[in-house]
Amino acid sequence: MSIEVRVPTLGESVTEATVATWFKKPGDAVAVDEMLCELETDKVTVEVPSPAAGVMGEIVAAEGETVGVDALLATIGEGEGAAPAPANEAKADAAPAASGDEAQSVDVMVPSLGESVTEATVSSWFKQVGDAVSQDEMLCELETDKVSVEVPAPAAGVLTEILAAEGTTVDASAKLAVISGSADGAVAPAAKPAEAQGTTATTGKDVEDAPSAKKAMAEAGLKPGDVQGTGRDGRVMKHDVAAAVAAPKAAPAPAAAPAPARPAGDAAREERVKMTRLRQTIARRLKDSQNTAAMLTTYNEVDMTEVMALRNEYKAEFEKKHGVRLGFMSFFTKACCHALKEVPEVNAEIDGTDIVYKNYVNMGVAAGTPTGLVVPVINDADAMSFAAIEKAIAEKGKRARDGKLSMEEMQGGTFTISNGGVYGSLMSSPILNPPQSGILGMHKIQDRPMAINGEVVIRPMMYLALSYDHRIVDGKGAVTFLVRVKEALEDPRRLLMDL
């Protein structure tokens, strides 16, 4: 009975791939999950594991052929000569000889990524093949559109196989690696595959070049030292080989050229870094917002005297009772919730030809993190007290900086507040967070001379900016909303009296 080897799922919108390298030939014995071949798509390299143990049969798609998703690549026949494990991986060596029990393999799978998240990118591996690992030790880190997910070891043992290299996009049910052995057997790292050792010895690096890059170098007659790697830790990728081959043709040395004014060109002083999935998502969503919404911004300014006086009077007592500091964000959140009740279209969204009015306020609070901007959501903020709002903002802000936010915590927002003032911004125009119809931009509090009752006095002033979708919010509604926020902040007692 023959078992078919087919092209696996290649990722969203990817429909075909090219067979780059076959690691096995017809007649070779193969083990379960042993790598048979490598496929290349426009963006990632995909390794195809063996679905069963047996003997390599017919290879249907040769190297260089383009195949579609679920296309037949090869067949595997059943045979007594099938080895239980590939010899070059030496899985059994990881277990102590005195135990007598065969080492069990444990699959490392992609963990739950959250609602509506179907794929992730492998950003970093903390362990290499042959390294001993303990249970719950971090093996690798995955990046989704919004959050980073750490993958712990499900069991102790030796990391014998990495199926998804750094930069590979994997789906929510994909296998990442294989751990072999037990906690007792993980006393020393197993030997690395001979191919990886040979590469290390040849190149003098601690990382192995991409298989597709090694194949391309062999075809071009290049040595590993002839190509400058741009991958992680200096790993040579396929496009690095293509650049090295094209370089002499693209930049021939001019005859009798004058000496350059500086020792190196601008390219030598530049650094090219691949965008993270989070940064790509931010860029795409912001541009989609500009292309979709009829976005307009209106401005006003607010005198922060009363808010600052109230905060200074009660902040010590507030922190003592509630265990959290009294900041300005709770005042702005309350003021916005108050104004959204009067101007509900700012808290609505467009769905096709319908307008969906939200009878609740899920407040998004934009937060800057080392990896990019995220917007955690405080659900039902209109029903929360000052203390509850401050606690929620503090807790979600910390989780955002630590990269621990889940997808559920960043979904369902109906309105957003963005505080650029913490970075010193005096005035800016925030961009809508679709499908929301409004976002309030806070800015730096600055002392300015103001005319009050015919006299010039110095007051702490802040510019406010409301960006809104003009398809659903008219100018009158936008201005009214901003005025109500201004009035509530300049006289906080109005919030208590619901005025």
Cβ neighbours of 210 (radius 10 Å): 25
Residue pair 279/372 in contact (Cβ under 8 Å)? The answer is: yes
C-alpha 371: how far from chain center:
8
Q: Which of 145, 470, 491, 498 is catalytic?
A: 470
> Letter for the amino acid at 447?
D
Buried b (16+ CB within 10 A) or exposed e, 308-339: eeebeeeeeebeeeeebebbbbbbbbbbbbbb
**Could you tell me the two tokens for 300?**
């006003």
Asked whether the CA dihedral 52, 55, 59, 64 is positive or negative, the reply is positive
* β-strand pairing of 438-442 with 415-419: parallel
Helices (H), strands (E): how many in the chain?
A: 9, 27
Q: Determine the Cα–Cα distance for residues 246 and 262; give it in Å rounded to an integer.
A: 24
Q: Is 184 a catalytic residue?
A: no
What separation, in Å, do the N-terminal and C-terminal C-alpha atoms of the chain show?
79
* β-strand pairing of 377-378 with 354-357: unpaired
Closest CA to 429 of 278, 262, 296, 265: 296
Closest CA to 284 of 431, 437, 118: 431
Integer-rounded Cα radius of gyration of the chain: 30
Q: Determine the Cα–Cα distance for residues 373 and 359; give it in Å rounded to an integer.
A: 27
Q: Which residue in this structure is represented by tokens 């889940």? A: 406
Q: Is 33 a catalytic residue?
A: no
**Could you tell me the two tokens for 407?**
């997808």
Residue pair 490/317 in contact (Cβ under 8 Å)? The answer is: no
Quick one: which H or E segment has residue 248? helix 238-250
Catalytic residues: 470, 474
